[in-house]
Amino acid sequence: MRQWNSKRACGTSRYLLRSKRQKDEPEDAAECEEIMIEVAVMGYGTVGSGVVEVIEKNKAEINQKAGEEINIKYILDLRDFPGDPYADKVVHDVEVILNDPEIQIICETMGGLKPAYEFTKRALLSGKSVCTSNKELVATHGPELIHIAHENKCNYLFEASVGGGIPIIRPLNYSLTAEKIDGISGILNGTTNYILTKMEKEGAGFEEILKQAQDLGYAERNPEADVEGYDACRKIAILSSLMCGKNVRYQDIYTEGITKITTEDFVYAKAMGRTIKLLGKSREEDGKLYAMVAPFMISMDNPLSMVNDVFNAVCVHGNMLGDSMYYGRGAGKLPTASAVVSDVVDCARHIGKVIMCFWDQQDIALTDIKQSSRRFFVRTVQDKESLALQEFESVSVITADVAGEFAFVTEKMTEKEFDEKAQKVGIISRIRID
């Protein structure tokens, strides 16, 4: 570990005060030795450049809270950045970082599984802590990487992998440890929330608003991961794993996106005093764990109904606390980077120590959602009214300014029961009621 002399006031950081060795000697700031924490950033894209910006702009505050001087020594990227103020820190070979004993913390902001998984694993095996925003990697290999980190007296932290800058991972790991968490529900994708908000407020169709989101940079040219719910699926898998302490495979979670939501659905929702949100949901009930991602009609009394545009929010239910909510910007350069840097600070405070994370490698089997029960909003053609009433029996009829349709809300029933009845009737669409 490299040490250097600092003339700054010793009280702002955790300094080794040689002057204190002799009681009668005054404290001389020039005699203070500060322990510097060397950091590497892997990936100099949107989030990676944000990490560098946050550390440099908020250096004084970060160093004070970390108790150490945080210094970015390397930035890994395949590209060169001529004219960039940090161009001299850019390296193209990961071995430079992995083989440097001074590097203690790595920020992995590359995204994807390759080569992020290999680089992260090797870093942890060498005793270097890793902080990441890579939700795909965390959802796929999180428990393995946490285990490797703990075996090597370092840490794998991933606050930025869910909810961007919203603190949610740390509360689940630390703040709510006295709780039995039995339910998590949240708006976990800013792109889809933006699209649904605009569809509701402007009365425009999905495709039109999607193009707007792409033009504004809120949606990728290939928006599949967002609009089909895959991004939210990985995030609820991470949260569900932390909730139950075992590994919830995102591949096992029922996932449904927003591509089938129409302007007519919002007309009905308004008539019902509701709105439509894409929710990631997980709950433990009678020893069974349910998890899913799908659009839901929610009451305007639900706090999630007020979360609009690119904002995210997560509601957590504990058996003692009841409900708590975590709200903020769920994506973006600086909010996400801020979360990564908060993990850097945590790692700096715990050099050589393990930060506990309750996420076991053992997979847990999810209960088939067909066994879960709820109400459903249903649209069918007007000619099917009699058949629908016969099949679903007791329903609440919904009247709205939509011609040629019969709409209703079912009583509470299992997903399996609903599918069987809906198949007999033939429906235009259905949305789950929360």
One domain for residues 150 and 13: yes
Residue closest to 407 by CA, chosen among 376, 375, 378: 378
Q: What is the dihedral of CA 239, 245, 249, 250, to 10 degrees?
A: 0
| For helices 190-202 and 263-271, angle between their N-to-C axes, nearest 10 degrees | 70
The structure tokens listed for 347 are 């790692």
CA separation, residue 363 to residues 136, 144, 156 (Å): 17, 12, 19
For residue 11, report the phi and psi dihedrals to the nearest 5 degrees: -70, -15
- Average confidence (pLDDT) over 203-211: 95
Q: Among 135, 161, 187, identify where a domain stops.
A: 161
One domain for residues 143 and 185: no
Q: Which domain holds residue 241?
A: 179-329
Cα–Cα–Cα angle for 282, 345, 237, nearest 5°? 15
Residue closest to 276 by CA, chosen among 198, 172, 392: 198
DSSP state of 346: H
One domain for residues 244 and 198: yes
Share of the chain above pLDDT 70, in %: 92
How much is the pLDDT for 15? 32
How much is the pLDDT for 218? 84
Range with the poorest average pLDDT among 95-104, 217-226, 254-263, 268-277: 217-226
For 155-198, what is each residue's pLDDT tens digit? Answer: 999 999 999 889 999 999 989 999 999 999 999 999 999 999 99
Burial class (CB in 10 A: 0-12, 13-18, 19+), 301: exposed
DSSP state of 309: T
One domain for residues 183 and 151: no
Per the structure, the count of domains in the chain is 3
CA separation, residue 1 to residues 4, 14, 161, 403 (Å): 10, 15, 29, 73
Catalytic residue among 235, 246, 277, 421: 235
| For helices 230-244 and 135-151, angle between their N-to-C axes, nearest 10 degrees | 30
Q: What residue has token string 């990936």?
A: 43
- 343/58 Cα distance (integer angstroms): 15
For residue 270, report the phi and psi dihedrals to the nearest 5 degrees: -65, -40
How much is the pLDDT for 35? 72
**Contact at 8 Å (CB) between 324 and 38?**
no
DSSP state of 149: H
Residue partners of 395: CB distance under 8 A and separation at least 6: 388, 389, 408, 409, 410, 411
Q: Among 329, 361, 381, identify where a domain stops.
A: 329
For 386-427, what is each residue's pLDDT tens digit? Answer: 999 999 989 999 999 999 999 999 999 999 999 999 999 999
Residue closest to 411 by CA, chosen among 427, 433, 434, 395: 395
Q: What's 231's domain CATH number? A: 3.30.360.10
In a domain, 70, yes or no: yes
In a domain, 206, yes or no: yes
**Contact at 8 Å (CB) between 237 and 293?**
no
One domain for residues 21 and 148: yes
One domain for residues 206 and 309: yes
**What DSSP string runs through 227-279?**
HTSHHHHHHHHHHHHHHHSSB--GGGSEE--STT--HHHHHHHHHTTEEEEEE
Q: What's 113's domain CATH number? A: 3.40.50.720
Q: Among 116, 133, 161, identify where a domain stops.
A: 161
In a domain, 73, yes or no: yes
Between the two ends of the chain, the Cα-to-Cα distance in Å is 54
One domain for residues 184 and 150: no
Residue closest to 209 by CA, chosen among 270, 259, 267: 259
According to DSSP, the residues that pair with 155 across neighbouring strands are none
Average pLDDT across the chain, whole number: 91
How much is the pLDDT for 146? 98
One domain for residues 130 and 27: yes
- 388/397 Cα distance (integer angstroms): 11
In a domain, 335, yes or no: no
In a domain, 334, yes or no: no
One domain for residues 116 and 197: no
In a domain, 349, yes or no: no
One domain for residues 208 and 80: no
How much is the pLDDT for 27? 47
In a domain, 287, yes or no: yes
- 296/276 Cα distance (integer angstroms): 6
Residue 331 has pLDDT above 90, yes or no: no
Comparing 14 with 171, the larger pLDDT belongs to 171
Residue 30 has pLDDT above 50, yes or no: no
Residue 11 has pLDDT above 80, yes or no: no
The structure tokens listed for 48 are 């990676």
- Average confidence (pLDDT) over 1-10: 35
One domain for residues 88 and 150: yes
CA separation, residue 204 to residues 52, 232, 267, 270 (Å): 39, 23, 11, 15
How much is the pLDDT for 1? 37
In a domain, 342, yes or no: no
Q: What's 408's domain CATH number? A: 3.30.70.1150
Residue 235 annotated as catalytic: yes
- Give 219's pLDDT tier (boundaries 50, 70, 90): confident
Q: C-alpha 418: how far from its chain's center?
A: 31
Residue closest to 240 by CA, chosen among 251, 224, 256: 251
Q: What SS3 state is found at 128?
A: coil
One domain for residues 66 and 184: no
How much is the pLDDT for 330? 82
